Amino acid sequence: MTLHHLEGQNVVCQPRHGPRHDLPPHKINYRSNIWALHSLSVERILATSAVGAINPEYEPGALVIPRDFIDFTRSRPQTFYDSEPVTHIDVSQLYCPDLRTVLIQCAKARSDPVWADSVYLCTEGPRYESPAEIGMFRSFGCDVVGMTGIPEATLARELEMCYASLCFVTNRAAGMQDRISAEDVMVEGRRIKGVVQEILRDTVIKLPRRRRCRCSRTLEGARV
């Protein structure tokens, strides 16, 4: 975790896979990562993720800003609220609408295409999905698939933090190309890295200092 200053604002950068990218997606301590940001008084999270395209219209290099999600993870701790009071948070709008609005504007100014009405599917990993699984997920209305977005986003919402995700398509999902190579995914990620960094920078600068969304009031009426 590193602290930076950008246009008078403090920005914390936290690589979820660790500084050497040595943590597989199913072994990341998502609760620890989100709690660490929360303890530093971070209010907004701009996440980045490499994803595979399920929607045949999405091509490698495209940017995706999810508006909804489906969770197919299995073994990850999902909540901070394992004891009293029983807490049920609303995820009707998991991704902060205000944060998404600015992120979409900044992404469209830097890149084309930008898909902003997308459903993100999170799988357990670390293996890639099978062609049959991808066919099933497509029938569910999923557009992209990744391994890290959940429970990261839902944990952030439990702590009343704003969260939005900037995904970049590195490959077509299983059954839509001959094979999937982790090496090829990394190459595509490095190719688009500069654009992603510029979009994040633009977004941080353009965000209003004070939050006006409902994310900061998530726990109102959520506890039994």
Asked if residue 167 is part of any domain, the answer here is yes
- pLDDT for residue 1: 82
At a CB cut-off of 8 Å and minimum separation 6, what does 162 contact?
A: 43, 44, 45, 96, 98, 99, 156, 211, 213, 215, 216
- pLDDT for residue 4: 87
Count how many domains the chain has: 1
Asked if residue 56 is part of any domain, the answer here is yes
Asked if residue 2 is part of any domain, the answer here is no
Predicted confidence (pLDDT) per residue in 26-77, tens digit: 999 999 999 999 999 999 999 999 999 999 999 999 999 999 999 999 999 9
Asked if residue 224 is part of any domain, the answer here is no
Asked if residue 211 is part of any domain, the answer here is yes
Asked if residue 26 is part of any domain, the answer here is no
Asked if residue 108 is part of any domain, the answer here is yes
- pLDDT for residue 178: 85
Q: When comparing pLDDT for 28 and 185, which is higher?
A: 28
| Nearest CA among 181, 158, 189, 166 for reference residue 80 | 158
Q: Determine the structural domain holding residue 167 and report its residue range.
A: 43-217
Indicate the pTM of the whole model: 0.94
The CATH number of whichever domain residue 165 belongs to comes to 3.40.50.1580
- pLDDT for residue 5: 86
Asked if residue 120 is part of any domain, the answer here is yes
Mean pLDDT of 10-31: 94
